[in-house]
Amino acid sequence: MYTLLIILVSFLSQQEVPFKADEEFTIELDLSFKQRPPASNYTYNFDETSREYKKRTMPGPTPYVVLSVVINKINDNETRLKVFQEDNKLVFSKKLKEKTEFSLDAGYTDDLVDQLPGHYHVIYFYNDKRKEVSRIVINFDKDGNYSVNGKPRGKI
């Protein structure tokens, strides 16, 4: 009996947090052009390929992605949201209020396709007891496809 209880508790604790319903939020992809910061002339990365070097030192503006997120409906049990990059780096935390809006810098399109930080964001919604109640997962894959909660939304 004791073993059954331990198995049941471990199973319940491993369940994934459900996705937030699509009609409760809006995510728009804003594409603009930005100049990359200048590369340092005094450092050299021996692991860097010629493609990475050209991309880093390319003159002129390159495409840059910013995600505009609007939370249209807040459920009764949701009081706070936290945005994580790559599941471990906290981008920001915010108390929820009616019609919450914020933007996420995803980064340069070349970096998103190369799977550098910024290609994967998770927005967790918490209750009063700081327990995760729902989530939104934003992902850019190696082909440049953009998906929200596993559903394809377009290509960059």
For 64-94, what is each residue's pLDDT tens digit? 999 999 999 999 999 999 999 986 899 999 9
Specify the 3-state DSSP secondary structure of 23.
helix
For 96-152, what is each residue's pLDDT tens digit? 988 899 999 999 998 899 888 889 999 999 999 999 999 999 999 999 999 999 999
Query: Between 56 and 5, where is the model more confident?
Result: 56
Going along the chain from its start, the domains and CATH numbers come out as: 2-155 (2.60.40.10)
What pLDDT does residue 4 have?
A: 46
Q: What percent of the chain has pLDDT over 90?
A: 61
For 35-47, what is each residue's pLDDT tens digit? 887 766 677 677 7
What pLDDT does residue 8 have?
A: 46
pLDDT band, very low/low/confident/very high, at 21 (cuts 50, 70, 90): very high
Burial 116-135 (b: 16+ CB within 10 A, else e): eebbbbbbbbbeeeeeebbb
What one-letter code names the amino acid at 65? V
